């Protein structure tokens, strides 16, 4: 049996730029920065006071009486999945469809909201026990499990965790499940909600958080900005989608996954380069076929300089012709959720022929000498887009999408 073509028939996201795809994309293409001083969390003695908070409360349509079973990172995934499934028009009450559908959601962290509240209850409030739902709420597979239960998805369902590459790894897993005939549909993406005091305090210790703005690829960049966020897409066997008359948003055409096997926190050129090359080979693309790369682009000194070398090594002279941007400059780094939001950005870039900008870009850096679409979006036809995720631990995941034919 030949491998199936894989269509994207739905997408959803929640980010610091908006609570759905339309709000997020509108802000992105207009260069709006969602990284601001914290308003919703207790900062205590945090030295870094900025991040990407979700603008409005997210309930994902869950009734109040069930809310005690959900941590914030799960609700973000639930809402993004709700949007994506609604757009796809799929109905999992069909038993055959439910059994042939999966859900794979990446998360770089666990449910830290319930963990931190438990510490507070025990060590500050003097409570003898913590919330009865602390374990199921905090497990990193909770988003996939809850989406499965709320929508009736009964095929392959599991969580993926690989730090900042978690969303892309989940997307890759779903892609292969559909392509190889293990499922007809896969609801995939990533989520994280790291804007918790304890998590922020830990990241402060790494000294990689930006003090006042995230400036990827700019010479005066000083670090990344953490954010809450999630992005989910519906992958579907293209023939299955056509047979039911679904609108195909995009075609997913290739993936690449590698490991640096080097340092826990310092990136290499080799691992990401091999992931991008593997993605191009699997998609049967030449470097010249790629119009846009949504870069990992965190805003740290090491990451951005290394990613520039990666892009030059993989694309050669075409690196100077491609459009590149880091949308993390606007929605922040949602860790395991970033790849999902960034895939949505790639799909919208293909649809509208608009490259979202890298905002807060102040001055060129000789080590980052590519066109990173500084500050203002630009019009460009995009047939093929690639999204990079390179994570702590040296895990790399790259995905490629193409305009629907």
Q: Which residues carry out catalysis? A: 164, 296, 333
Residue 35 is given by DSSP the state: -
| Partners of residue 340 on adjacent β-strands | none
| Partners of residue 117 on adjacent β-strands | none
Closest CA to 87 of 3, 186, 195, 12: 12
Would you tell me how many other CB atoms lie within 10 Å of the CB of residue 289? 15
φ, ψ dihedrals at 142, nearest 5°:
-55, -45
Closest CA to 332 of 28, 22, 12, 23: 28
Would you tell me how many other CB atoms lie within 10 Å of the CB of residue 133? 15
The answer to whether 227 touches 15, Cβ cutoff 8 Å, is yes
Please, what's the largest Cα pairwise distance for the chain? 64
The answer to whether 87 touches 9, Cβ cutoff 8 Å, is yes
Length, in residues, of the chain? 405
Would you tell me how many other CB atoms lie within 10 Å of the CB of residue 212? 13
Closest CA to 13 of 383, 390, 331, 382: 331
Query: What CA–CA distance (Å, rounded) separates 44 from 14?
Result: 26
Query: What CA–CA distance (Å, rounded) separates 18 from 53?
Result: 10
Query: What CA–CA distance (Å, rounded) separates 188 from 235?
Result: 7
DSSP string covering 332-392: -B-GGGHHHHHHHHHHHHHHHTEEPPBTT--S--TTS-S---BSS-EE---SEEEEEEEET
Number of helical H runs and strand E runs in the chain = 13, 14
Query: What CA–CA distance (Å, rounded) separates 294 from 397?
Result: 13
Handedness of CA 176, 100, 350, 307 (dihedral sign): negative
Which tokens hold the place of 185? 């549909």
Tokens 């980010």, residue located: 15
Residue 391 is given by DSSP the state: E
């Amino acid at each position: 049996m030949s491998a199936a073509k894989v269509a994207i028939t739905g997408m959803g996201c929640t980010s610091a730029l908006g609570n759905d795809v339309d709000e997020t994309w509108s802000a992105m293409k207009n260069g709006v920065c969602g990284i601001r001083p914290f308003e919703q969390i207790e900062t205590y003695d945090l030295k870094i006071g900025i991040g990407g908070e979700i603008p409005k409360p997210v309930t994902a349509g869950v009734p109040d009486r069930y809310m005690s079973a959900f941590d914030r990172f799960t609700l973000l995934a639930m809402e993004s999945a709700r949007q994506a499934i609604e757009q796809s028009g799929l109905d999992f009450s069909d038993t055959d469809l439910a059994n042939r559908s999966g859900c794979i959601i990446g998360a770089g962290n666990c449910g830290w909201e319930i963990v931190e509240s438990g510490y507070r209850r025990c060590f500050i409030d003097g409570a003898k026990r913590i919330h009865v739902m602390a374990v199921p709420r905090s497990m990193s597979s909770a988003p996939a499990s809850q989406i499965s239960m709320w929508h009736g998805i009964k095929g392959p369902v599991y969580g993926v965790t690989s730090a900042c590459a978690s969303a892309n790894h989940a997307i890759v897993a779903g892609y292969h499940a559909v392509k190889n005939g293990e499922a007809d549909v896969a609801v995939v993406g990533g989520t994280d909600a790291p804007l918790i005091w304890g998590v922020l305090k830990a990241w402060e210790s790494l000294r990689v958080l930006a003090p006042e703005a995230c400036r990827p690829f700019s010479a005066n960049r000083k670090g990344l900005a953490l954010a809450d966020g999630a992005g989910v897409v519906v992958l579907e066997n293209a023939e299955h989608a056509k047979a039911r008359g679904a609108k195909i948003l995009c075609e997913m055409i290739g993936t690449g996954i590698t490991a640096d096997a080097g340092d826990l926190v310092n990136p290499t050129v080799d691992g990401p380069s091999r992931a991008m090359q593997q993605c191009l080979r699997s998609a049967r693309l030449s470097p010249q076929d790629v119009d846009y790369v949504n870069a990992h682009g965190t805003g740290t000194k090491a990451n951005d300089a290394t990613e520039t070398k990666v892009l030059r090594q993989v694309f050669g002279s075409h690196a100077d012709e491609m459009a590149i941007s880091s949308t993390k400059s606007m929605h922040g780094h949602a860790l395991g959720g970033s790849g999902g939001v960034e895939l949505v950005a790639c799909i919208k870039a293909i649809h509208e022929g608009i490259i979202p900008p890298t905002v807060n870009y102040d001055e060129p850096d000789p080590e980052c000498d590519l066109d990173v679409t500084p500050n203002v979006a630009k019009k460009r036809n995009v047939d093929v887009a690639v999204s990079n995720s390179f994570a702590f631990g040296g895990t790399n995941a790259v995905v490629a999408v193409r305009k629907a034919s």
